[in-house]
A and B are shown apart, each in its own frame.
Chain A
């Protein structure tokens, strides 16, 4: 029982949050902050696969988020909501409850396929040249979606709120909160499994030395493909959740600044540390909200904090370690595989 103490505490905590949201104990603002925390955790830990474990420098993570957000919201809106262009809902809106996670997963799958766009050039290019390819992909995705008039172009796309309301009509519980928590747990679980598997070992071998890894019979191309696709797919899930939480997506909200935010969260937590990225995503979201009254000065203070952090603790909060390595006693209370 002692071994599962933290797991149970986490589960009870999530349950309490959902219950509190259900009975109106926390207001909508706090709820949205908690949901953004989950989305940011998914973003930072999925980017950590490529930037941390594999040692590449991908700075276009928001592109995959954008693809996931658009695909999943188009799917849900076409299926369950009244829309000017797509017409009446195809399926009865009551079924949104069942298809919602499926739509978000479809968004993730499509953005994993878009991830191939970055993964294939990465077979030959490394380092800074790959960084450019990711930036270029980010611009291309945004520009491409801006030119698709059918999904709103640069005006953005909306209608997801109807789907969320349709779900609340069936059973009135905070659905998006539940899906966000489930998505976050799913992401952390899958990354944890992935990193400790043979694939994960292969990816850290590529990080150490690509040529040596190839000589040791690591199929580097396959590893890169899998890592990029997993990373972008999870970012797509984050995007799908983001779109349904906000209820409105706009191509410009996934621009290079969003990618920079993802990068910041990864490096704040430490490269190659899953618990580090979770911790830094939570801290970063809280910091953003705490500094909100300062308005624009916020964006001077946050970079300044990061510059100072880089000066005095360049490896990030946890460095290359997990939380369990820093505090070995925690391992007694946590079983997590």
Chain B
């Protein structure tokens, strides 16, 4: 029983990372209908930016601030810089293609290639040696019976829930959120209504990449080893989670991320860990087979 609770808490933490990344996928997909395959690598870049910020700018080799100050300034700085990376990608790679009205798949290929550039550019620039993320927080362990919870786990889970609430609020309650939903509904009529499509799209990229940066920082704090390929696998998996939830829907991405987290952790708890991918993906495939548009997705009606 206690093992089960411990696994649930681990699954919540692991699912939080998937959920945070899946939210970025789903935001961009919801607005642009573009699978931003570079998103996993933006997450990786976010982790590296967090590393750079907390070591070379604010930390021991920069201003030398105390840990709480690094954390307080580092999180927003990381989010802003990562958002900058996402917006740069949009500006350089995706927007010209969109202007030309290129086929959707070509944009997807461009996104894939941008991901590869980020990954291998990082490898070429910083080398293959793994980076050790500094410990920014005193580790506190709270034990209830045999179930132990670290403060970091609580922060990660709370951050995921807060991000979900924040994004849900923005998309459903604010003017810019309404504009985002409008762009996803009809891309051709919206400019006629006086809504600046490009700035809405940039805002979407800011949100998605910013939270990928947050996820990167939290990930680096939880598993303090950084390597250039860490974003690829987790990005693909988060994308699958977003689709299982119903891509384009904020709730779907959130639920899908936690679902994948739970499946993976529970599989590892009861089977040999090499079966993780096999069983997790079989279950997801089954879900998509039964409900082809995902858990929260609504089928778009096709007209002839």
Whether A211 contacts B302 in the complex (CB less than 8 A), given A310-B97, A314-B106, comes out as yes
Contact A304 B117 (CB under 8 A): yes
Contact A143 B243 (CB under 8 A): no
- Whether B108 sits at the interface, judged by CB under 8 Å, is yes
Contact B117 A143 (CB under 8 A): no
Band of interface residues on A: 35 or more
Residues in B with CB closer than 8 Å to A124 are 292
Residues in A with CB closer than 8 Å to B110 are 306-307, 310
Residue in A closest to B103 when the chains form the complex, CB atoms = A314
- Whether A147 sits at the interface, judged by CB under 8 Å, is yes
- Whether B192 sits at the interface, judged by CB under 8 Å, is no
- Whether B3 sits at the interface, judged by CB under 8 Å, is no
Closest Cβ–Cβ distance, residue A258 to chain B (whole Å):
13
Closest Cβ–Cβ distance, residue B108 to chain A (whole Å):
7
- Whether B203 sits at the interface, judged by CB under 8 Å, is no
- Whether B240 sits at the interface, judged by CB under 8 Å, is yes
Residues in A with CB closer than 8 Å to B114 are 303, 307
Contact A135 B274 (CB under 8 A): no
Contact A310 B102 (CB under 8 A): yes
- Whether A27 sits at the interface, judged by CB under 8 Å, is no
Contact A121 B289 (CB under 8 A): yes
Contact B278 A143 (CB under 8 A): yes
State A212–B302 Cα separation when bound (angstroms): 11
Chain B positions 92-139 with a Cβ under 8 Å from a chain A Cβ: 93, 96-97, 100, 102-103, 105-106, 108-110, 112-114, 116-117, 119-121, 123-124
Closest Cβ–Cβ distance, residue A48 to chain B (whole Å):
13
Q: Which one, A101-109, A217-225, A292-300, A324-332, is touching chain B? A: A292-300
Residues in A with CB closer than 8 Å to B97 are 310-311, 314
- Whether B11 sits at the interface, judged by CB under 8 Å, is no
Whether A132 contacts B288 in the complex (CB less than 8 A), given A147-B275, A212-B304, A296-B120, comes out as yes
Contact A121 B292 (CB under 8 A): yes
Q: Which one, A7-15, A238-246, A259-267, A277-285, is touching chain B? A: A259-267
Residues in B with CB closer than 8 Å to A300 are 116-117, 120-121, 124
Q: Which one, B79-87, B147-155, B164-172, B279-287, is touching chain A? A: B279-287
State A289–B232 Cα separation when bound (angstroms): 25
Closest Cβ–Cβ distance, residue A61 to chain B (whole Å):
14
Residues in B with CB closer than 8 Å to A154 are 274
* Interface of A: prevailing SS: helix
Task: Provide the A139-181 mask, 1 if CB < 8 A to any CB of B, else 0.
Answer: 1101110110000011000000000000000000000000000
Residues in A with CB closer than 8 Å to B281 are 136-137, 139-140, 143
Whether A267 contacts B274 in the complex (CB less than 8 A), given A137-B285, A211-B304, comes out as no
Contact A132 B292 (CB under 8 A): no
Contact A129 B294 (CB under 8 A): yes
A140's partner among B121, B247, B285, B289 (CB-CB below 8 A) is: B285
Contact A263 B112 (CB under 8 A): yes
Whether A129 contacts B109 in the complex (CB less than 8 A), given A211-B304, A307-B114, comes out as no
Closest Cβ–Cβ distance, residue A13 to chain B (whole Å):
32
Residues in B with CB closer than 8 Å to A310 are 97, 102, 106, 109-110, 113
Residue in A closest to B108 when the chains form the complex, CB atoms = A57
B240's partner among A125, A132, A147, A304 (CB-CB below 8 A) is: A132
Residues in A with CB closer than 8 Å to B240 are 132, 135-136
State A128–B109 Cα separation when bound (angstroms): 13
A303's partner among B96, B113, B236 (CB-CB below 8 A) is: B113
Residues in B with CB closer than 8 Å to A306 are 109-110, 113
State A307–B95 Cα separation when bound (angstroms): 13
- List 29 interface pairs A-B (beta carbons < 8 Å), by A numbering: A51-B105, A121-B285, A121-B292, A131-B35, A132-B240, A132-B288, A135-B239, A136-B288, A137-B281, A140-B277, A140-B281, A140-B285, A142-B277, A143-B274, A147-B272, A147-B274, A153-B274, A212-B304, A260-B116, A267-B105, A267-B109, A296-B120, A297-B120, A300-B117, A300-B120, A300-B121, A307-B110, A310-B97, A310-B113
Ranked nearest first, the 4 interchain pairs of A and B with the lowest CB-CB distance are: A303-B113, A143-B277, A299-B120, A143-B278
- Interfacial residues, chain A to chain B (CB-CB below 8 A): 51, 57, 121, 124-125, 128-129, 131-133, 135-137, 139-140, 142-144, 146-147, 153-154, 209-212, 215, 256, 260, 263-264, 267, 271, 296-297, 299-300, 302-304, 306-307, 310-311, 314-315
